[in-house]
């Protein structure tokens, strides 16, 4: 699959020319200059309550957890603030004698540094498609079209609908066309725009599948017996926006009341929609939307999966960051009927994953392992009859957070591929 990446080279030259012409050389218009990321862990319920309030009042960008409503005693909270807001937060923390750590002192500097090292690496390897870097939506779409043309014995590319802004919602179907009624696995990446490790994992997995089909017996078995649907970017509008305008955008880009934009595409599914663990306020980052499946992206994907529900045996959704492998329920603490099978699949996958780099993942029901949330895709998939439904929260646990450097793409994607293959082999065995 090595080929000259002419389009990328042209885009690269154009960008440099453009930067030179317009005279500004800061990413995202320098909007993150002096922005900080704090880590604060409330020691008791009183601190937790105070933090919730202050986060809400200061309108900070919460990296972890995704909403202030999830904060309780001992919750690790990573908060991104503007330079100005950081002063107010610091004053408050000192007054209340709450302990904090500054994880990032100037977010803009980190973004620029990562972009420079990327540009340098790009110069060296421009002739080969680079799977160890983040790609823009346009680059990912070109890559998909290319595979559809050159790998048609194992790849078929199609669209399940259109996004709010009118972009096609592309999916790759991987698998040998040897038998008619095949079981299937669905994998989506990029439900949340800023979690860039997701889309790059989807690309990595596709490459691994295609490259090892001939020499790895388990991959050959997987692709012979199963179809794997891979959707590299579910929230295409949000992902694009995170490249052009706001690196830390999470939601879709639909316009709603109060002049706020976007719905949390992982709170918008038709399962206990709008209940606990989702916000009904359009400006919040966990806004569930005006009604279930209000987002065209969610509606398109759920329609496709619903039609294929008899074949699809596993639904996987790739997120970051936390290092967890989660399964239903998200919306309640009850255990699922086939808990035994699912929990053992998760435990095996996490164990296999650790063999690569020794990195540990927690695993368990999303509700008790992470937090309660309603309208999530894994609960919806599970309730639709898909017996294995998982959400991965990839690396790391907050050192880089959403800004996972490109040097960690390879280890992160390698171990995650092992986990996904492990789950695929599991569903070929009898355990329901
Ligand atoms: C951040 O704010 C401080 C205090 O107001 C100021 O001295 C500093 O220059 C600001 N940093 C940036 C990068 O804007
Ligand atoms: C970073 O630099 C590259 C050029 O190497 C450019 O293509 C890309 O759009 C830049 N921005 C981001 C957000 O990565
Ligand atoms: C993928 O290739 C097939 C032909 O092999 C074509 O019919 C189909 O339209 C292509 N998909 C897309 C999205 O272009
Ligand atoms: Zn996410």
| Domain residue ranges in the chain | 11-114, 127-427
Domain 127-427 has CATH 3.40.50.2300: no
124: confidence class by pLDDT, cuts 50, 70, 90: low
pLDDT at 180: 80
Neighbours of ion ligand 4 (CB under 5 A): 192, 195, 319
The response to whether residue 34 sits with its C-beta less than 6 Å from ligand 1 reads: yes
Residues 252-256 have a mean pLDDT of: 95
DSSP codes, 167-185:
-EEEEEEES-TT-SS-EEE
pLDDT tens digits, 31-60: 999 999 999 999 999 999 999 999 999 999
Per residue in 54-97, pLDDT (tens digit) is: 999 999 999 999 998 899 999 999 999 999 999 999 999 999 99
pLDDT for res 120: 78
* Cβ–ligand 2 contact at 119 (below 6 Å): yes
Q: Is the CB of residue 148 below 6 angstroms from any atom belonging to ligand 3?
A: yes
137-192 pLDDT per residue, tens: 999 999 999 999 999 999 999 999 999 999 999 999 999 987 788 999 999 999 99
Decide if pLDDT at 206 tops 80.
yes
Report the alpha-carbon distance of residue 90 to residue 139 in Å, rounded: 41
Q: Is the CB of 331 under 6 A from ligand 2?
A: no
Above pLDDT 90, what percent of the chain?
Answer: 87
Sheet arrangement for strand 77-81: 61-64, 77-81, 36-40, 101-104
- Count CB atoms within 10 A of the CB of residue 119: 12
Ligand 3 contact via 153 beta carbon (within 6 Å): no
Active-site entry in 141, 295, 393, 415: 393
- pLDDT on residue 191: 98
- Give catalytic status of residue 415 as yes or no: no
The model's confidence at residue 23, banded by pLDDT at 50, 70 and 90, is very low
Ligand 1 centroid to Cα of residue 107, in Å, is 12
List all residues 6 or more positions away from 302 whose beta carbon is below 8 Å from its beta carbon: 269, 270, 293, 380
Residue 376 contacts residue 271 (beta carbons within 8 Å): yes
In whole angstroms, give the CA distance from residue 297 to residue 254. Answer: 10
Q: Give the model's confidence band at 4: pLDDT under 50 very low, under 70 low, under 90 confident, else very high.
A: very low
Candidate CATH numbers 3.40.50.620, 3.30.420.40, 3.30.70.340, 1.10.3720.10; the one for domain 11-114? 3.30.70.340
- Counting ligands in written order, which one lies closest to the CA of residue 370? 4
Q: Which atom of ligand 3 is nearest to the CA of 156?
A: 1
**Cβ-proximal residues to 140 (8 Å cutoff; 6+ apart), any chain:** 199, 203, 232, 233
| Alpha helix ranges (H) inside 317-408 | 339-357, 366-369, 377-383
């Amino acid at each position: 699959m090595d080929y000259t990446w002419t389009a990328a080279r042209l885009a690269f030259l154009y960008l440099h020319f453009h930067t030179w012409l317009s005279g500004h050389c800061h990413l995202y218009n320098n909007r993150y200059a002096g922005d900080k990321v704090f880590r604060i862990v409330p020691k008791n319920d009183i601190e937790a309550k105070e933090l919730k309030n202050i986060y809400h009042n200061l309108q900070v960008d919460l990296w972890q957890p995704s909403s202030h409503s999830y904060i309780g005693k001992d919750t690790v909270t990573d908060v991104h603030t503007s330079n100005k807001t950081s002063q107010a937060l610091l004053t408050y923390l000192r007054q209340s004698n709450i302990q904090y750590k500054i994880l990032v002192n100037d977010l803009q500097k980190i973004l620029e540094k990562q972009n420079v090292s990327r540009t340098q690496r790009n110069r060296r390897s421009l002739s080969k498609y680079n799977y160890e870097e983040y790609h823009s939506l346009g680059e990912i779409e070109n890559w998909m079209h290319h595979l559809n043309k050159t790998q048609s014995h194992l790849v078929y590319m199609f669209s399940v609908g259109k996004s709010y802004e009118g972009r096609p919602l592309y999916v790759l179907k991987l698998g040998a066309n040897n038998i008619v009624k095949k079981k299937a696995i669905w994998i989506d990446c990029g439900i949340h725009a800023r979690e860039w490790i997701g889309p790059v994992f989807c690309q990595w997995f596709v490459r691994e599948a295609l490259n090892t089909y001939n020499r790895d017996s388990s991959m050959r078995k997987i692709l012979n017996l199963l179809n794997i649907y891979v959707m590299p970017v579910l929230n295409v509008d949000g992902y694009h926006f995170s490249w052009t305008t706001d690196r830390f955008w999470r939601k879709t880009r639909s316009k709603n009341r109060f002049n706020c934009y976007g719905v949390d595409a992982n709170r918008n599914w038709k399962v206990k929609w709008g209940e606990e663990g989702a916000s009904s306020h359009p400006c919040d980052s966990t806004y569930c939307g005006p009604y279930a499946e209000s987002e065209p992206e969610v509606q398109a994907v759920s329609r496709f999966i619903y039609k294929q529900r008899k074949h699809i045996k596993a639904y996987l959704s790739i997120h970051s960051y936390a290092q967890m492998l989660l399964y239903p329920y998200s919306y309640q603490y009850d255990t699922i009927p086939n808990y035994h099978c699912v929990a053992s699949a998760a435990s095996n996958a996490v164990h296999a994953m650790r063999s690569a780099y020794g990195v540990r993942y927690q695993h368990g029901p999303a509700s008790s392992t992470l937090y309660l949330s309603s309208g999530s895709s894994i609960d919806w998939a599970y309730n639709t009859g898909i017996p294995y439904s998982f959400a991965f929260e990839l690396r790391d646990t907050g050192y880089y957070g959403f800004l996972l450097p490109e040097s960690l793409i390879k280890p992160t994607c390698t171990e995650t591929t092992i986990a996904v293959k492990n789950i695929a082999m599991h569903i070929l065995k009898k355990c329901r």
